[in-house]
Structure 1
Amino acid sequence: MENRRGRTSALFSAAALALPLAGLAGVYWGTADLTWNARLDALLRLPHAERHLVLIIWEWRLPRVLMVALVGGALALSGVLMQAMLRNPLADPYLLGLSSGASAAATAAIVWLPATLVAAVGMPLLAFAGAMLAFLVTLGLAYSPTRGLDRLVLILAGIAVSLFFQAISAFFIHIADPHVTQAALQWLMGSAAGTTWGDLIPLALALPLLVALSYWLAPMLDAVLLGDERATALGVPVAWLRAGFFTGAALLTGLSVAGAGIVGFVGLVVPHMARLLIGATHRRLIPLAVLLGAIVLVVVDLLCRIVLAPEELPLGVLLALFAAPPFILILRRVRRGV
């Protein structure tokens, strides 16, 4: 027991230290050629710091780093919740169509709606509506009145719904004005470039609230893994819990897509990484998964900026390249029933 507690403390300490270090690296490194002293002066906003360097650090890089950290944590938490509620290790916002639904709604808003209306309604709200619609369609396809929710069919339905909404997004882009197409394509491939401080507010409010709620209800999540009947016998309101966490996962996914575009595999791979490190108990799993998700996306976003500098790689492309090998390992573990 003492060894487990010591290992848990060491893992959380390492993750808590790695996140600000990764964030600092994301703020320091980039395409602009700055000296170390100049970077430090701009970061600390010292009186003698050059004005344009302060602008680069505080208005361009820092909001972007914070956004990808929030998106990584939000998608990781969404993956944990969906895998627990569905008792399916392959469940995640990307595979179940939430990300594609959110992106289709956002793309439609960019292409068709006036900018003033989008600003009034809010891209996060539109993306959340698209994510919720896609997930409801996925659940409807996988649910049978006689057999209930088929977890295998759910994955297949999610893939089909995801492809459908991706096709809708592609259609909207194809018929859009050429001036809009380039921006929409860059956003769909994943990018947090151009993030402002105001863009951070929705996720900065939603993520801590859902992390706290999930942590508080973590024993119920553990009980759900035993099956609906056993969880109900233990006094867990499974239907209400599932509806609430599905809504929360859709909200986090929609806000993430609105903030950084399509970012796949974080919600699938990161929860499995956390389980391998710390086990399946949700009181430990949830905070570690959120930290790891934030670290992974901050590091990948930094690589997107420096690998082909001054050109920038799309976040979703580089992340998919890194996530493919772990995803194959996860499939092998699922096949073996590990």
Structure 2
Amino acid sequence: MNRAPYGLTLTLALLALILAMLAGAFWGTAQLPWDERLRALFRLPDAQPNLQLIVWEWRLPRVLMVAMVGGALALSGVILQALLRNPLADPYLLGLSSGASAAATAAIVWLPAAFVASFGLELLAFLGAMLAFILTLGLAFQPGRGMDKLVLILAGVAISLFFQSVSSFFLHLAEPHVTRNALSFLMGSAAGTRWGDIPPLAIVLPLGFIVVLASAKMLDAVLLGDERAVALGVPLPVLRFGLLSLAALLTGLAVAGAGIVGFVGLVVPHLARMVVGAPHGRLLSIAVLFGMITLVVVDLLSRTLLAPEELPLSVLLALFAAPPFVYILRRVRRGL
């Protein structure tokens, strides 16, 4: 299969991301004249203060957040699929997202707001993601036989269902006004994002990307099998522990930023492989950019299709991800 030139693909993806983010800043429930939008975006002296508030305090933080969430989930998906050598591995199917959301829901429903503000919703979501992933690996690992790929997916589904039931239990006992906020969070939404919510993911995502990019050749070696990877000098236990912890951290921050966002970590890495191939030196940047573009576009559509009402991110993502997911399943069955 012919692959697209990496440089051209990277350039077009960057351009598409910039255009998608500008569209996210320009369009929304408030219909503004184009000249007023440009004045507000560039903060010109004659720009209306209320329009600057809409663009700079409501839309831009949200656009940046969903872009980073999409990139973080795509990067997590690449990590999990490589280290576990399983094409169906992703934060959602392996229970990380559900564990993070259960921890975040518990914090929203039960813990005092001052306590959550002190520890941070991101930290609590990360701990929930780590717990879910440890349970998934524990169920899938068999002494003397290692880890079965099919059992790993089934264990992830089981853990995911368990933590979803835990979240539902918390919501059932919560006050109605708290339940509404938590449900919006669980269905995926970046509404209400402020500039103060940006730094955790803005710091971890670039640093995590650099770490994974520096490990690209080792990830390529892991795809050959554990024995060959060790023979090539890959410190497999250290690599797995470090990168899997990074995947859990990215997932926790993504869930804290935009709630449950499924399928991005599964579908986007496969789409990137179809375009530039499997070597991680090229795959990582394209997958992250594709994830960013995907979620920025989906968030824009969720805000505008039924304006002034908003659709949850999970609704449109499931709709758009279903056809490529079926295609990926067919490729997996054929061993491609």
TM-score, with normalisation over the residues of structure 1?
0.98
Q: Which residue of 2 aligns with 1:144?
A: 142
Of 187-196 and 143-152, more deviation after overlay is shown by: 143-152
CA offsets, 1:5-62, max 9 Å, x none?
Answer: x811111110011001000000000000100000000000011100000000000000
Give the Å deviation of 1:241: 0.4
Decide which of 89, 98, 102 is 1:91's aligned counterpart.
89
Counting only pairs closer than 5 Å after superposition, residues 285-304 of structure 1 correspond to structure 2 as 285-304=283-302
Q: Which residue of 2 aligns with 1:112?
A: 110
Q: Which residue of 2 aligns with 1:212?
A: 210
Q: What is the alpha-carbon distance in structure 1 between the residues aligned to residue 134 and residue 191 of structure 2?
A: 31
Q: Which residue of 2 aligns with 1:308?
A: 306
Q: Which residue of 2 aligns with 1:254?
A: 252
Q: What is the alpha-carbon distance in structure 2 between the residues aligned to residue 161 and residue 181 of structure 1?
A: 23
Q: What is the alpha-carbon distance in structure 1 between the residues aligned to residue 184 and residue 215 of structure 2?
A: 38
Give the Å deviation of 1:132: 0.2
Give the Å deviation of 1:317: 1.1
Q: Which residue of 1 aligns with 2:43?
A: 45
Q: Say yes or no: does 1:333 pair with 2:331.
A: yes
- Aligned to 2:92, the other structure's residue is in SS state coil
- Aligned to 2:233, the other structure's residue is in SS state coil
Q: What is the alpha-carbon distance in structure 2 between the residues aligned to residue 117 and residue 267 of structure 1?
A: 31
Task: For 2:173, give the aligned amino acid.
Answer: I
Q: Which residue of 2 aligns with 1:127?
A: 125
> CA-atom RMSD, angstroms?
0.9
CA offsets, 1:167-202, max 9 Å, x none?
Answer: 000010011011100000001000000001110111
Q: Which residue of 2 aligns with 1:193?
A: 191
Q: Which residue of 1 aligns with 2:20?
A: 22
Q: Which residue of 2 aligns with 1:242?
A: 240
Q: What is the alpha-carbon distance in structure 1 between the residues aligned to residue 92 and residue 217 of structure 2?
A: 26
- Aligned to 1:119, the other structure's residue is in SS state helix
Give the Å deviation of 1:316: 1.1
CA offsets, 1:94-114, max 9 Å, x none?
Answer: 000000000000000011100
Give the Å deviation of 1:302: 0.3
Decide which of 29, 32, 57 is 1:34's aligned counterpart.
32
Q: What is the alpha-carbon distance in structure 2 between the residues aligned to residue 7 and residue 142 of structure 1?
A: 39
Of 316-325 and 157-166, more deviation after overlay is shown by: 316-325
Give the Å deviation of 1:217: 0.9
Q: What is the alpha-carbon distance in structure 1 between the residues aligned to residue 221 and residue 5 of structure 2?
A: 24
CA offsets, 1:263-300, max 9 Å, x none?
Answer: 00000000000000000000000000000000000000
Q: What is the alpha-carbon distance in structure 1 between the residues aligned to residue 110 and residue 214 of structure 2?
A: 41
CA offsets, 1:205-235, max 9 Å, x none?
Answer: 0000010111111000000000000000000
* Structure 2: gaps (5+ residues): none
Q: Say yes or no: does 1:77 pair with 2:85.
A: no
Q: Which residue of 2 aligns with 1:173?
A: 171
Q: Say yes or no: does 1:231 pair with 2:251.
A: no
CA offsets, 1:248-277, max 9 Å, x none?
Answer: 000000000000000000000000000000
Q: What is the alpha-carbon distance in structure 2 between the residues aligned to residue 116 and residue 132 of structure 1?
A: 24
Give the Å deviation of 1:150: 1.2
Q: Which residue of 2 aligns with 1:266?
A: 264
Q: List 4+ stretches of structure 1 deviating above 3 A.
A: none
CA offsets, 1:108-166, max 9 Å, x none?
Answer: 00111000000000000000000000000000000011111111100000000000000
TM-score, with normalisation over the residues of structure 2?
0.99
Q: What is the alpha-carbon distance in structure 1 between the residues aligned to residue 19 and residue 31 of structure 2?
A: 20
Q: What is the alpha-carbon distance in structure 1 between the residues aligned to residue 314 and residue 260 of structure 2?
A: 6
- Aligned to 1:96, the other structure's residue is in SS state coil
Q: Which residue of 1 aligns with 2:55?
A: 57
Q: What is the alpha-carbon distance in structure 2 between the residues aligned to residue 31 and residue 99 of structure 1?
A: 29
Task: For 1:234, give the aligned amino acid.
Answer: L
Q: What is the alpha-carbon distance in structure 2 between the residues aligned to residue 243 and residue 220 of structure 1?
A: 14
